Amino acid sequence: MTAPPYDLAVIGSGPGGYVAAIRAAQLGLRTACIEKYPTLGGTCLNVGCIPSKALLDSSEHFAYARHRLAGHGIKASVELDLGAMMKRKEQVVRDLTRGVEGLFAKNRVTWTKGTARLLSAGEIEVVGASGPERVRARRVLIATGSKAGSLPGIAFDGRRIVHSTDALSLGEVPRRLMVVGAGAIGLEMGSVWLRLGSEVRVLEYLDRPVPGMDRQSALLLQRSLERQGMKFTFKASAKAARVTGHKVVVTVAEGDGTRDQECDVLLVAVGRRPYADGLGARELGVRFDERGRITVDESYETSVPGVYAIGDVIPGPMLAHKAEEEGIAAVERMAGQAGHVDYDCVPSVVYTWPELASVGFSEEEAAQRGWEVAVGTFPFLANGRARAMDEREGQVKIVADARTDRIVGAHILGPRASDLIAELAVAMELGASAEDVARSVHAHPTLPEAVKEAALGVAKRAIHI
């Protein structure tokens, strides 16, 4: 049976897809969202951003109670209940995915359940539990996201050799965890299990953690994690892995040779790849680049008129908030509005503790572009609220154009950096100068005062250092 035509059919209900669908409905477009999984929210809500942050928060509480409460004059005996921790994580996920269902109902977005395949620019076959159906729409928005990357010679088994989704639901704390990849996912999941009692070693092919973020800040994060017990091996890679009994034997390549190393669980966290398998996009003529990403124009339209794409499946950082903003911009363009995304102002966060957050350009990137910059830094060690919280690690770093004083980058390692970076993302979006931030009144005592002091530091006039 052919369903009535829609103005827009969104394929995928992750942050990019569901936000785009809701915004389209707000703009008066008759909208359907097609999702093959039984719950809405995509990777982020179900097996990515949300459950990982739930475990990060729970494990932070556990580690704080074990190692730092005594310093506040609180004596406590702490015991891990991993099952209860996992149940809490699952409840958080259920609450939020049901919340998206409620938002769809409120905004009259039709949730079509099943696997989508493009038949033409305006027709989609959806295969669900009750069989195939056809969905017709004037426009189609592909928001199918990404999936975990893998390594040749290493096969996932979901128990001993795992990817990030599996690492969210381990049945016990592994004694030894090896993580391949020192990016955000590897360091975050490594942090969870480190706090819960694992010995964690991270292998990284490059010479530093979190490549692409400010080098100085990344090295400060590495030192902090090392003090917590995490071990790093750089310029190394995993070439093969085999399960032997209850152990994993990993062939590690380092320098000119290889060696076998044992662990209880091997987590492969080497990034993600765009996911458009079985979608029929290639067959329809949608153009992909050499990395398997769909190419789009400034309106997010693909090489096939009427077919659009956003999020992890197109070029750019694979971030949920980037996908959300693209989804909004794409449907606003469809509705004749001037939606846009300023990619220089998209923040990135590593949710370890301390957190590392960044927006804009690093000193290295600015130098590569031939810019002369002025840099201001301020350590949390000198911030009154951070000292009161017993959070002394890290710093705020602001990079400004030396000629105009306009902020071109900001990098924060420290407590709640994920929250603090928002001020500087807004400042950059508005074209603010370091002086603008420095002259803004910040409440005392607060962590954001460190942002103000770093802005003052650009002109070499920080007060508290």
Residue 51: asked if its preceding bond is cis (omega within 30°), the reply is no
444 is catalytic: yes
Closest by CA position to 357, among listed 413, 397, 437: 413
Active site residue: 67, 340, 444, 464, which one? 444
Question: What does the alpha-carbon distance between residue 435 and residue 459 come to, in Å, rounded to a whole number?
Answer: 8
Residue 3 has a pLDDT of 55
Instruction: Bin 108: left if φ > 0, else alpha if -120 < ψ < 50, else beta.
Output: left
Residue 367 has a pLDDT of 86
State the sign of the Cα–Cα–Cα–Cα dihedral 156, 114, 89, 394: positive
- 189 in Cβ contact with 209 (< 8 Å): no
Cα separation values, 346 from 319, 323, 333, 342, 350, Å: 9, 11, 20, 7, 14
pLDDT, tens digit only, all 465 positions of the chain: 455 699 999 999 999 999 999 999 999 999 999 999 999 999 999 999 999 999 999 999 999 999 999 999 999 999 999 999 999 999 999 999 999 999 999 999 999 999 999 999 999 999 998 899 999 999 999 999 999 999 999 999 999 999 999 999 999 999 999 999 999 999 999 999 999 999 999 999 999 999 989 999 999 999 999 999 999 999 999 999 999 999 999 999 998 899 999 999 999 999 999 999 999 999 999 999 999 999 999 999 999 999 999 999 999 999 999 999 999 999 999 999 999 999 999 999 999 999 999 999 999 999 888 899 999 999 999 999 999 999 999 999 999 999 999 999 999 999 999 999 999 999 999 999 999 999 999 999 999 999 999 999 999 999 999
| Bridge partners (DSSP) listed for residue 118 | 124
Q: How far is CA 73 from the centre of its chain?
A: 36
Q: Which residues contact 234 (CB under 8 A, 6 or more apart)?
A: 182, 204, 206, 207, 208
